[in-house]
Amino acid sequence: MKYRRLGRTNIEVFPIAFGGIPIQRISEEEAIRVVRRAIELGVNLIDTARGYRDSEIKIGKAIKGINKKVYISSKSPNRTKDGIYEDIKISLKNLEVEKIDIYHLHGVNDKESFNKVFSSDGAYYGLLKAKEEGLIDFIAVSSHSTDLLEELIATDRFDVVQLCYNFIETKVEEKIFSMALERDIGIIAMKPIGGGVLPNPKLALKFVLQKEFIIPDPGMETIEEVEENVKIAMDPSPLTYEEWEEIERTRKELGQIFCRRCDYCQPCPQGIPISVIIRADSFIKRLSRDNISSGWFYDAYLKAQNCTRCGKCLPRCPYGLPIPDLIEENIKLVKEYLGE
């Protein structure tokens, strides 16, 4: 098995990481079994976050007593120095470890967040403090915005970046990959299966694995998913002509409904977080029912019901998505899921 070097961290990683979002949906006992099966099969990087409800706690219990080296990556959306420092302490307690290998500024997706994390009391300096004290080893950042990724990477302050990459979302191929590689920054690819909406998960993961400098981290919640993903990761064969044909067909089919989260459609006059609500199918597939029926997603769902179909978002979308129609369809989807 050829492991992959995660940039300047020099961590040698199994070709895929374990994405810790979906284990929110399953029992603690089952989550422990799933995580341990992944480790047993060779996976040695586990990715989670403060925002993933009890994911850190379940992972902590799963890795306790494990006789193999397992690297942990976690994240916090806190934007202040003191706030993220306290979040790191909570993560350490939840994970039952003395040090976290990689810690991210979570979701730096807009200029406001960028400015906050680098202000004098910003979260970046909380990560520096934690690193100086030996609480974390490497500083990282995750972002859904290609534009912000350019600015984040250009600072050369991060050891690892986590970004969206799959065969629909390929904009990062234009500049981001080369910028990160030039600075020896490790790359973790979230959403390799498009948040669970790409119709052929095996092919989607195989596509991302073609780039050997990337570590995809598909979310997994069953032993079957773990075993299938590991099997794909252990087969380094190139994509066949037939597989490329299927990718192109899927691109054409999903091109007019797949949101890339660029948020160029904003601001909405009704305050609707458009890229959240039109990805309802993905959230329903990955998050727990509690995540859907309360909190930030449910707030987005309620705001979406105020859509007036004014159409101001339409010319702003670079992909020509029929946004008002998608909002309406996804409202119906959530209502059916919640039984409203």
d(CA 28, CA 40): 18
Question: Given this model, what pLDDT does residue 232 score?
Answer: 97
Give residues with Cβ within 8 angstroms of 5, minimum separation 6. Answer: 11, 12, 13, 186
d(CA 205, CA 5): 19
At residue 168, what are phi and psi to the nearest 5 degrees? -95, -45
Within 10 A of 229 (CB to CB), how many other CB atoms are there?
27
Q: Exposed (0-12), middle (13-18) or buried (19+): which is 154, by Cβ within 10 Å?
A: exposed
Prior bond of 324 cis (ω within 30°): no
d(CA 145, CA 165): 11
Q: Which among 219, 193, 300 is positioned nearest to 25, based on CA atoms? A: 219
Q: Are 282 and 292 in contact (CB under 8 A)?
A: no
Question: Given this model, what pLDDT does residue 55 score?
Answer: 97
Question: Given this model, what pLDDT does residue 286 score?
Answer: 87
For residue 172, the 8-state DSSP code is G
Question: Given this model, what pLDDT does residue 15 score?
Answer: 98
- Two tokens at 312? 């101001």
Question: Given this model, what pLDDT does residue 31 score?
Answer: 98
First to last CA, the chain: 49
d(CA 291, CA 295): 7
- pLDDT tens track, the chain, 340 positions: 799 999 999 999 999 999 999 999 999 999 999 999 999 999 999 999 999 999 999 999 999 999 999 999 999 999 999 999 999 999 999 999 999 999 999 999 999 999 999 999 999 999 999 999 999 999 999 999 999 999 999 999 999 999 999 999 999 999 999 999 999 999 999 999 998 889 999 999 999 999 999 999 999 999 999 999 999 999 989 999 999 999 999 999 998 889 988 898 999 999 999 999 999 999 998 888 998 999 999 999 999 999 999 999 999 998 899 999 999 999 999 999 999 9
Give residues with Cβ within 8 angstroms of 248, minimum separation 6. Answer: none
Provide the CA 262 distance to its chain's centre, in angstroms: 15
Rg of the chain, C-alpha, whole Å = 19
Q: Which among 135, 137, 110, 105 is positioned nearest to 122, based on CA atoms? A: 105
- Two tokens at 221? 């919640």
At residue 283, what are phi and psi to the nearest 5 degrees? -65, -40
Q: Are 337 and 277 in contact (CB under 8 A)?
A: no
Q: Exposed (0-12), middle (13-18) or buried (19+): which is 332, by Cβ within 10 Å?
A: exposed
Question: Given this model, what pLDDT does residue 146 score?
Answer: 93
Taking the whole predicted model, whether its pTM rises above 0.85 is answered as: yes
